[in-house]
Amino acid sequence: MDKKPDTIRPDIIRIASAQLNPTVGDISGNLALAREARADAARHGADLVVFTELFIAGYSPEDLVLKPAFIEECREAVEELAKDTADGGPGVIIGVPWREKSGDKKGLYNAVAVLDGGKITDVHFKVDLPNYGVFDEKRVFDAGKPSGPVNFRGVLLGIPICEDIWGDLGICETMAECGAEILIAPNGSPYYRDKVEIRHQVVIKQVIESGLPMLYINQVGGQDELVFDGASFAINADHQLAIQLSQFEESVSVSTWRRGDKGWYCKKGPASQIPDSNEADWRACVLGLRDYVNKNGFKNVVLGLSGGIDSAICAAMSVDALGEERVRCVMMPYHYTSGESLKDAEDCAKALGVRYEIVPIVEPVEGFQNTLAHLFEGTGSGVTEENLQSRARGVILMAISNKFGSMLVTTGNKSEMSVGYATIYGDMNGGFNPIKDLYKMQVYELSAWRNTCVPPGSMGPTGEVIPENIISKAPTAELREGQLDQDSLPPYPALDDILESLVENELSVEKIVERGHDKAVVERMENLLYIAEYKRRQAAPGVKITKKAFGRERRYPITNWFRDRD
């Protein structure tokens, strides 16, 4: 007598990892992407294709999930995809926001649906909802209860969803105790520097505790401030890395799993090399900018090219992201703009092959000065007059943006944004900032690195794209005669160490002084950091690179009298 299908115990299963780039809110587009990936997986003999966290909605949908129509449309898309599995091809595990009435709870879950045989065979809920850093899922989702594995064609699969493997709730152990044979973890894990190694250690810990192998699947792409870098992988029960997919690249990769004497194991597969920190940071900035521009429907970008390092690196990233034909650079000289800056800006534009124009700002600045003369009578010239230059440039760039539909790229680094060394409604104007989370010294390091390397997927040229003189000269805003950044700030190596200590590491003034810094300088930088919060609240979004980026991840009050003093 033949066994029933659900009692058959196969000794081999082929699982496709769909490391893809969904778009938040594009439910029909994400469904089409899933169908295409499933067809690709079928051609390669897959039994199952696994998509990432909340794939059908796009991650992270934030408060979109509070709209009943959105949840209903997501469910309908998954039901449509389930019908496709009646063809006998690969089954599907796919992330979806899911509403299910449950007493007095919201009944809204971060879930995965298991699809096979033309129907939804199981829905599994996320248990551990993250509520730190960039995550606040407890606002919108209910936590699921710990549960056992799902039976997929005779293989018992434990499906911990993202945070379920990062926390200490023993979720993977529970699944193992309930009979799970393989752990499959769909993720929406955003990039920060050296994150891949951290993920490996997290998974190894769960593998050790559960005794089971794990397939970790992460999405790719930019979503507002976040960049998802893929780098999916599998680790066997012996703690060895079986497969490693590429970082920052989409793929549908089939892995082969066999049942052995000691349980299931993944055969050795792709072993992509993970980029070093500089390449990874660069590619994250480029991917974040590219997806922000393309997913929001901009045809091209414009930015001010000053001859300084920040605008130069942003121009290079823009070309790598979009190609030279979609990047427009504008030099806007004033009395204090040096001949050296004019040459450096022109050389940079030529090296990148971008459209380059010069628009002098003498007339608009003097127009503002004349208009304000009777109001400013009897006062000395100072920062206000300097900022008129920056704001005139901001007005010109925004006019170009409005007229031609180009997104304005903002070019301020994290060091400047930390201490408010930026002009609100001036050089802070713009739609997106690719270097918002890079400190000044990281900007220098990456600029030098890009002159010797062309990362995969880059659309820019080889060779020196940022003139060496831009990298080697002393930084200056050129808003007054002979001005240098170090007139009002500590040298950038010292400043960056102080700021990283304050922002990323939350160190006290005393601890930072112990690192060799002058106490008065540290206290002044701390004060500047706090009083610049109102500017940062109004700044353009930008790519998250560090463990603690400004914005949704570091939420300090604008009105704040606290200072760390003995």
- In whole angstroms, what is the distance from residue 11 CA to residue 264 CA? 8
Q: Closest Cα partner for 459 from 304, 273, 300, 347?
A: 300
CA distance 195 to 231: 10
96 phi/psi in degrees, rounded to 5: -160, 140
> How far apart (Å, rounded) are the C-alpha atoms in residues 212 and 239?
9
Q: Is 162 a catalytic residue?
A: yes
Give CA–CA dist 9/28, Å, rounded: 36
DSSP character string of 311-339: HHHHHHHHHHHH-GGGEEEEE---TT--H
Q: Which of 74, 162, 314, 329 is catalytic?
A: 162
Question: Computed from CA positions of residues 34, 144, 232, 71, in that sequence, does the dihedral angle turn out positive or negative?
Answer: positive
Name residue 29's amino acid: G
Sign of CA dihedral 101, 105, 110, 111: negative
Q: Could you please report the per-residue DSSP string of 238-262?
A: TS-EEEEPPBS--EEEEEEEEEETT
Kind of pairing between the strands at 150-152 and 119-125? unpaired
For the chain, state the CA radius of gyration: 26
- Cβ atoms of residues 495 and 489 within 8 Å: yes
What is the torsion angle, in degrees rounded to the nearest 10, for the CA atoms of residue 501, residue 506, residue 512 and residue 517? 40
85 burial type by CB count under 10 A (0-12 exposed, 13-18 middle, 19+ buried): buried
On whether the CB atoms of residues 334 and 365 are closer than 8 A, the answer is yes
Separation CA 397–CA 330 (nearest Å): 8
Q: In whole angstroms, what is the distance from residue 383 CA to residue 388 CA?
A: 9
Phi/psi of residue 123, nearest 5 degrees: -130, 125
**What is the CB-side half-sphere exposure of residue 61 using CA atoms within 13 A?**
28
Is residue 53 flagged as an active site residue? yes
Backbone angles phi, psi at 380, to 5 degrees: -85, 155
Q: Which residues are catalytic?
A: 53, 126, 162
